[in-house]
Amino acid sequence: MTSHSAPSEARWAQLPESAAIMLAAPAYFCVYLAYLFWHRESEVGHWLSLVILPVLLVWALHRASGGTLRGALASLGLGKVRWTRGLVAALLMGVILGIFQVMASRSGEMAMDAFRTGRAAWLLPVAFVFMLLTAGFTEELFFRGFLQTRLEGLLRSRVAGLLLASFCFGVYHLPYAYFNPRWPSAGDWGQAWGAALGQGIPAGLILGALYLYSGRNLLAPAVLHALVDAFPAMGILHFGSG
């Protein structure tokens, strides 16, 4: 009787931990968002908040349910995937959206000057590598590999996971849109909401859709993200504006 009324320890551990892993992502995002309103985080800080801590959290929860580090990394888009899948689309979209960013950015004129003078030949690759190692990888691992994947599991829908993760990506930019003086919306809550959601949600939809299209190859959205940011970043890197 006892053996039928109480589930085994292994079975009990597997089911709650699976739910815990999926719930951990939105819970972590809410805590992290509150933290961003209190502290303006650097790119180095992103590596701790958006990469190291989420990876450790997922690994710990996987271990608690009998999983492995390899399984935890695979669940974040860092497993055995075709690393070339989706890259052509990422490069094409990155160039198109990157040029659009140059035209819309405050540093657009400085970036255009880099093309006119030929400095873009070395500035663009440097800016791309810099953005890939910072926002490109850190934000894509968090919002696509960590958050979108688990929201999809919670909601049992790829579309719903994509939409909610894209909304979160927009809200994530709100403290930057309000507090960062480099944003035109700085100091104005109404404009900050419009700028954060107006830029973040469409970007999140594009990046998240590419992540799904590429078979959860995290490199594809990371490359696209880095390219889009690299074009306007050329002016910042060259002229050293802060």
- Indicate the range of 74-78, 133-137, 218-222 predicted with least confidence: 74-78
pLDDT, position 131: 93
Q: Is the pLDDT of residue 239 over 80?
A: no
Per-chain mean pLDDT for the chain: 85
Average pLDDT over residues 40-66: 90
**80 or 17: which leads in pLDDT:** 80
Q: Are 132 and 220 in contact (CB under 8 A)?
A: no
> What sections of the chain are H helices per DSSP?
2-5, 9-38, 43-46, 53-64, 69-74, 87-104, 108-117, 120-131, 137-140, 149-155, 158-172, 174-179, 189-213, 219-239
> CB under 8 Å to 108, separation ≥6 — which residues?
101, 102, 232, 235
pLDDT in the model for residue 169: 98
Provide the 3-class DSSP secondary structure of residue 28.
helix
The pLDDT assigned to 144 comes to 97
Contact 197, 171 (CB under 8 A): yes
What pLDDT score does 139 carry?
97
Render pLDDT for 164-204 as a digit per residue (tens, 0 to 9): 999 999 999 999 999 988 888 999 999 999 999 999 999 99
pLDDT at residue 107, rounded to an integer: 63
In tens, the pLDDT along 95-104 reads 998 888 777 7
More confident residue, 162 or 78: 162
CB atoms within 10 A of CB 111: 29
Is residue 236 very low, low, confident or very high in pLDDT (cuts 50, 70, 90)? low
Give the pLDDT of residue 4.
40
pLDDT for 237 equals 63
